[in-house]
Chains A and B, each alone.
Chain A
């Protein structure tokens, strides 16, 4: 095995393990921290594959902005010790069996597809320059559409969140959870 490939395998292993921990944690804050780890290791994989701009975005937007949004909500919902207890009540070991079988079957069929062939990537860096030229060239229309999507999400999030806050203000006693 090529020693260079360790640069790929190590972040890959970290990503898989931390993702597994995200899915299995009972405390939301812990899970979020593992999610950050998972995202960062995926960013490393991006870099290794020759996509430095995507790696930077992964760190800045995913691990930065999106996870911080999650954290805000966790804080607003005041998820404390009781929620951890409730999670262990909800997560009976037997619940893992059915979904586990489905996932394993999917994994096996995927392995069956991928097994046997080897196509190496080019191993070249595709920098922000090339990405930008492409993004505002042939993909300009899609960028516009993405802009519409974000605007719609902005309006939707504002609408949903404002009503929540107003209702909370009217009934200060209600914490919304537990």
Chain B
């Protein structure tokens, strides 16, 4: 059964090709069936293949499809490679992806029906529905190639493919220029990381002579320490760009311009975790370099710290979730940095469950409120929108890692406790992580309390049917029980996490501090504890605005890169490089004018010139000239 592996990426690709070729001429129902069905079938195949793989007991399974190209000694093959890591990733991508696709069949249907929708014209609506699923299927295909490729070249192909789909889907409502700007920003910022990653790949190829992951890792021992550090840092650059970590995180909040299922699938569950996958995949390189591994941990810590404070000051529900995504991925990076590889992947999986749940539930809320995303304009929704509310509640519980009852607890706990025991300064990482976890509890409570309790401000219209609340229910269940799933299966697959016991004081603190955050949050945001004076003080206001702007990263980048670039472009409007080409053209034109003088159109003049030429040839032949 394992040889069905190629079907997993092939099915979404087929779905994409069908939807792409028919250009929205298919009935909407069939579009939904093809779009979600192709991913669903892929999930089914993944399940079958995964079980078979698990039973076979082999460490890995490779399926060679064809040789991409053969140039000299360089012959990268397109080979699908299945091991524990890629199996977990494939399961998340196809499984969570399928649920999100099913949700999207309902969400996009209603969304494109909205009078306020920018694609309201019937034809555009139909076309938009089909286009959406075509892009989504293409994304799933690219993401699967990313995780299943046994070659860094295939991985890079998928890497750029998901970047492209991200760009296309952020700018899905392309009639609004702001969305196009957000899409461009995401594309350009991740491009910075991708360039670093490409450089890392070049360096790796030059040093080791292969891009095949397994043989590259086997030969990695030949690298000297400096080179391993350089490659590790360059690959980290790529991961940072894709996973929206500091300092390349600024694109993710703007990426929320896309439809909410896109945010759930691409910008929470799968694509943004590609960086985590990359580093986990290349852990052999990082094992060689203390510096690179430390850098991973520091990046993760900085991101989770910065973004959890930023989330506290946001008012847009999707932006809050975007910043929380950044901080959760920060945990994963920190886990990678402290050597808790399997904990990172564990958290990746549970995060995919609960963050997809949170995004989809918030999507239901947004849809019911006719595209109102400001939590301060919501309120009192918990009675009116029970399914989204309970989904959000479960997702939030997992996000703040409520002890023992949510999946997020197990994975986050594993990360923090491993960090605590890691080396001399491990407790610093632990401290930062726990502080950020407390902040996470605070802003999540704020979001829940403000949006779902208090007085009703907008009357919601919930039109969701089973294709929308069904995925929510499944994801809720996964968010609760996914932790046991992880303990049971993941340890088996990826190796148990070795961390300090739960009876340790630090472990108890890790458990209790988020609860404190929730307590404070409930008191503060339900108005029972008045801190208005503190917030409105000049320092508080400045801090709030600083956090709201995402620690002013956008401002800094705008002044450091965008403005100087625009200035340079304006100064160089005439393009100094073009001058050379224009000069070439001018010289050519000059010769043309000279040559045109001989074209008199007079036949006898031509004949005379031919005669002169004949004479000259004679003289040359006779060696008189």
Judge A-B direct contact (beta carbons within 8 Å): yes
A residues bordering B, Cβ < 8 Å? 98-99, 102-103, 105-106, 109-110, 112-113
B622 at the interface (CB under 8 A from A): yes
B615 at the interface (CB under 8 A from A): yes
Check B611 against A106 for contact (C-beta < 8 Å).
yes
Nearest residue, chain A, Cβ from B612: A102
Contacting residue for A112 out of B608, B614, B615, B622, CB 8 A: B622
Central interface residue in B608, B612, B615, B622, by most chain A CB within 10 Å: B615
**A113 and B615 alpha carbons, distance in the complex (Å):** 13
Closest Cβ of chain B to A169, distance in Å, is: 30
Nearest residue, chain B, Cβ from A95: B604
| Given A112-B622, A113-B622; A105-B608 close (CB under 8 Å) | no
Check A106 against B608 for contact (C-beta < 8 Å).
no
Check A109 against B608 for contact (C-beta < 8 Å).
no
Nearest residue, chain A, Cβ from B617: A109
Contact flags (1/0) for B598-625 with A, using CB distance below 8 Å? Answer: 0000000000100110110011001000
**A110 and B617 alpha carbons, distance in the complex (Å):** 12
Contacts of A110 in B (CB 8 A): 618
Pull 19 A–B residue pairs with CB atoms less than 8 Å apart, ordered by A.
A98-B608, A99-B608, A99-B611, A102-B608, A102-B611, A102-B612, A102-B615, A103-B611, A105-B615, A106-B611, A106-B615, A106-B618, A109-B615, A109-B618, A109-B619, A109-B622, A110-B618, A112-B622, A113-B622
Contacts of A98 in B (CB 8 A): 608
**A110 and B622 alpha carbons, distance in the complex (Å):** 10
Nearest residue, chain B, Cβ from A105: B615
B residues bordering A, Cβ < 8 Å? 608, 611-612, 614-615, 618-619, 622
Closest Cβ of chain B to A61, distance in Å, is: 26
**A109 and B618 alpha carbons, distance in the complex (Å):** 7
**A113 and B624 alpha carbons, distance in the complex (Å):** 12
**A149 and B611 alpha carbons, distance in the complex (Å):** 27
**A135 and B614 alpha carbons, distance in the complex (Å):** 32
**A113 and B608 alpha carbons, distance in the complex (Å):** 22
| Given A98-B608, A99-B608; A106-B614 close (CB under 8 Å) | yes
**A106 and B611 alpha carbons, distance in the complex (Å):** 8
Contacts of B608 in A (CB 8 A): 98-99, 102
Nearest residue, chain B, Cβ from A102: B611
Contacts of A113 in B (CB 8 A): 622
Closest Cβ of chain A to B457, distance in Å, is: 85
Closest Cβ of chain A to B618, distance in Å, is: 4
**A112 and B621 alpha carbons, distance in the complex (Å):** 12
The 4 closest A-B pairs by CB, nearest first: A109-B618, A102-B611, A105-B615, A106-B615
Closest Cβ of chain B to A87, distance in Å, is: 15
Contacts of B612 in A (CB 8 A): 102
Contacts of B618 in A (CB 8 A): 106, 109-110
Contacts of B611 in A (CB 8 A): 99, 102-103, 106
With contacts A99-B608, A102-B615, A110-B618 known, what are 6 further pairs, Cβ within 8 A? A102-B612, A103-B611, A105-B615, A106-B615, A106-B618, A109-B619
**A102 and B612 alpha carbons, distance in the complex (Å):** 7
**A109 and B621 alpha carbons, distance in the complex (Å):** 10
**A108 and B619 alpha carbons, distance in the complex (Å):** 11
**A112 and B622 alpha carbons, distance in the complex (Å):** 9
**A98 and B612 alpha carbons, distance in the complex (Å):** 11
Contacts of B615 in A (CB 8 A): 102, 105-106, 109
Contacts of A106 in B (CB 8 A): 611, 614-615, 618
Closest Cβ of chain B to A106, distance in Å, is: 6
Closest Cβ of chain A to B119, distance in Å, is: 59
**A84 and B611 alpha carbons, distance in the complex (Å):** 28
Nearest residue, chain A, Cβ from B604: A99
Contacts of A112 in B (CB 8 A): 622
Contacts of A99 in B (CB 8 A): 608, 611
**A24 and B394 alpha carbons, distance in the complex (Å):** 111
**A113 and B619 alpha carbons, distance in the complex (Å):** 11
Nearest residue, chain A, Cβ from B611: A102
Closest Cβ of chain B to A93, distance in Å, is: 17
Closest Cβ of chain B to A64, distance in Å, is: 28
Nearest residue, chain B, Cβ from A103: B611
**A142 and B619 alpha carbons, distance in the complex (Å):** 33
Nearest residue, chain A, Cβ from B619: A109
**A91 and B324 alpha carbons, distance in the complex (Å):** 98
Contacts of B619 in A (CB 8 A): 109
Nearest residue, chain B, Cβ from A110: B618
**A139 and B451 alpha carbons, distance in the complex (Å):** 97
**A99 and B611 alpha carbons, distance in the complex (Å):** 9
**A29 and B614 alpha carbons, distance in the complex (Å):** 32
Contacts of A105 in B (CB 8 A): 615
Central interface residue in A98, A103, A105, by most chain B CB within 10 Å: A105
**A105 and B622 alpha carbons, distance in the complex (Å):** 13
Nearest residue, chain A, Cβ from B614: A106
Closest Cβ of chain A to B300, distance in Å, is: 80
Nearest residue, chain B, Cβ from A99: B608
Contacts of B614 in A (CB 8 A): 106
**A112 and B611 alpha carbons, distance in the complex (Å):** 18
Closest Cβ of chain A to B290, distance in Å, is: 81
**A133 and B614 alpha carbons, distance in the complex (Å):** 36
Closest Cβ of chain B to A113, distance in Å, is: 7
**A77 and B174 alpha carbons, distance in the complex (Å):** 72
Nearest residue, chain B, Cβ from A98: B608
**A127 and B608 alpha carbons, distance in the complex (Å):** 40
Closest Cβ of chain A to B274, distance in Å, is: 66
Closest Cβ of chain B to A67, distance in Å, is: 22
**A63 and B446 alpha carbons, distance in the complex (Å):** 112
Closest Cβ of chain A to B138, distance in Å, is: 55
Closest Cβ of chain A to B611, distance in Å, is: 5
**A98 and B615 alpha carbons, distance in the complex (Å):** 14
Closest Cβ of chain A to B227, distance in Å, is: 68
**A102 and B615 alpha carbons, distance in the complex (Å):** 8
Closest Cβ of chain A to B603, distance in Å, is: 13
**A112 and B612 alpha carbons, distance in the complex (Å):** 18
Contacts of B622 in A (CB 8 A): 109, 112-113
Closest Cβ of chain A to B486, distance in Å, is: 83
**A103 and B607 alpha carbons, distance in the complex (Å):** 12
Closest Cβ of chain A to B467, distance in Å, is: 72
Closest Cβ of chain A to B614, distance in Å, is: 7
Closest Cβ of chain A to B625, distance in Å, is: 11
Closest Cβ of chain A to B583, distance in Å, is: 40
Central interface residue in B608, B614, B618, B622, by most chain A CB within 10 Å: B618
**A109 and B623 alpha carbons, distance in the complex (Å):** 12
**A110 and B615 alpha carbons, distance in the complex (Å):** 10
**A98 and B604 alpha carbons, distance in the complex (Å):** 12
**A109 and B625 alpha carbons, distance in the complex (Å):** 13
Closest Cβ of chain A to B387, distance in Å, is: 83
**A113 and B614 alpha carbons, distance in the complex (Å):** 14
**A113 and B621 alpha carbons, distance in the complex (Å):** 10
**A6 and B615 alpha carbons, distance in the complex (Å):** 32
**A102 and B611 alpha carbons, distance in the complex (Å):** 7
Nearest residue, chain A, Cβ from B618: A109
